[in-house]
Amino acid sequence: MKKPIKGFSKLSKEGKIEWLVNEHFEKPEAARALLEEYWHTDEKKQQLHDDFIENTVTNYFLPFGVAPNFLINDELYTLPMAIEESSVVAAASKAAGFWLKRGGFKTEIVSTTKIGHVHFNYYGSVETLKTMFEAWKPMFFEETEELTANMRARGGGILSVELKDKTDVLENYFQIEARFETCDSMGANFINSCLEQFAQVMRADVMSRDISEEDKNLQVVMCILSNYTPECVVRAEVSCKVEELNDDKDVTPEEFATKFKRAVRIAEVEPYRATTHNKGIMNGIDAVIIATGNDFRAIEAASHTYASRNGQYTSLTHCTVEDGIFRFWIEIPLALGTVGGLTKLHPMVKLAHELLGHPNSETLMGIVAASGLAQNFGALRALVTTGIQKGHMKMHLFNILNQLEATTEERDAIVAHFTDKVPHHNLVVAKFCELRGIPVPRSDVKKDS
């Protein structure tokens, strides 16, 4: 039976690995060797990676691919994409090439405001609280001047502060809701520091007042930015004449436009479909987010909340076909940074930003939105024409061949064999065994049949 360990975080990296491999693996030396294989050969770069998180024992690689031919606001980009899922980069690239000939992607920043809250309980008179808040407001700005100086110099800072009475949803619950402009920084540390200073102002002022003990009963619960950013939104769009949707010989442009619009409409009204639909959008978005060193978990959370903002989970993309014009667009909250965090530390993140021409945060918002729109267009295009499995099964075949450690000659022969067949696992294994003149393993005889 495994035993808990005390003081694990205080062990050296070697000590952590020693405990890990001996406690959890049947072949400790093989596990140790694998962990060390993924270390960077440059000790300084490895130390940099070790310091990104706690208890680091090795690195975890994701493929870093690129999707060229993205024409965004009349400027050509090659997008960096870090993702483990097959077909994503290919679909984005194909969609980019399609729209390259039809005017490309147009993006617009709707707004760039971020929001944070001081969450607190108050047990006194609401009128007294409102009076105190009017006194706090100027103090919030005054007491954070040092914190906001650099941000204000770049055109950002605290935009507004409001008192929110939330007692209708939770007894004695109130908020100080603040709006911020953080320019090219994602701004989490900046926002949280300001909010904590607000809380100090509130506590000190309440205790200094000549009011009843009940009216002094204010308890700050927490100070934290919100990753829901419905006021930090970007829009990306593609459009063309319906007759220009003439890229598939098996479907007329009119049929394609009708089926595509219907597919989007289904995602707008059916949450089961919307979830998978939006997941495909996030394939394109997350891949660029990760490559550029931004927080894909925050973006995911905000996007899915935004998709539910009207009471039902729905599609993040929309489509119209009117007066002979096909339009397809996405509107999505993207709180991104191009300074701070990993953007100046991680070598591959720095390379990704250089690849994109060192965009500011608003330009990056547009690029990321275009990537999500392209990915969604590629997926829907496949779904309403050839079906989604054609591309997926091709990559599935390559994965099976890698597992079988097929030679180049064997790979070429098997790929040619399955050109017009579905490469189910058992059929691929059978063909592989036939080429090598060996019996099919019993475990694969009935697999996938």
Write out pLDDT tens, residues 328-378.
999 999 999 999 888 889 999 999 999 999 999 999 999 999 999 999 999
Please report the pLDDT score of residue 449 as a whole number.
36
Catalytic site residue from 14, 85, 254, 448: 85
The stretch 196-217 carries a mean pLDDT of 97
Please report the pLDDT score of residue 2 as a whole number.
79
Rounded distance between C-alpha atoms, residue 221 and residue 176, angstroms: 12
Instruction: Read off φ and ψ for residue 317, nearest 5 degrees.
Output: -110, 160
Fill in the DSSP letter of residue 191: H
Tell me the whole-structure pTM to 2 decimals.
0.87
Strands of 173-181's sheet in order across: 157-165, 173-181, 114-122, 218-225
Q: Which residues pair with 116 in a beta bridge?
A: 178, 225
Catalytic site residue from 295, 346, 396, 431: 295
Catalytic residue at 295?
A: yes
Catalytic residue at 237?
A: no
Instruction: Read off φ and ψ for residue 345, nearest 5 degrees.
Output: -115, -50
The string of pLDDT tens digits covering residues 213-258 is: 999 999 999 999 999 999 999 999 999 999 999 877 678 999 999 9
Catalytic residue at 85?
A: yes
Catalytic site residue from 40, 137, 279, 424: 279
Please report the pLDDT score of residue 194 as a whole number.
98
Q: Confirm if 319 and 328 have CB atoms less than 8 A apart.
A: yes
Q: Please give the C-alpha separations between residue 287 and each of 67, 82, 83, 332, 340, in angstroms, as whole numbers.
A: 11, 5, 5, 16, 19
Rounded distance between C-alpha atoms, residue 219 and residue 205, angstroms: 13
Q: Please give the C-alpha separations between residue 140 and each of 146, 166, 190, 199, 370, in angstroms, as whole numbers.
A: 12, 21, 14, 9, 38
The stretch 34-38 carries a mean pLDDT of 97
Q: Confirm if 145 and 207 have CB atoms less than 8 A apart.
A: no
- Residue 125's pLDDT band, with cuts at 50, 70 and 90, is very high
The stretch 265-288 carries a mean pLDDT of 98
H-run or E-run covering 82 = strand 75-82
Please report the pLDDT score of residue 387 as a whole number.
63
Catalytic residue at 168?
A: no
Catalytic site residue from 40, 392, 425, 447: 392
Residue whose pair of structure tokens reads 């295009």 in the numeric block: 381
The string of pLDDT tens digits covering residues 48-93 is: 999 999 999 999 999 999 999 999 999 999 999 999 998 999 999 9
Give the CA-trace dihedral at 303, 308, 310, 314, to 10 degrees. Answer: 90
H-run or E-run covering 146 = helix 145-153
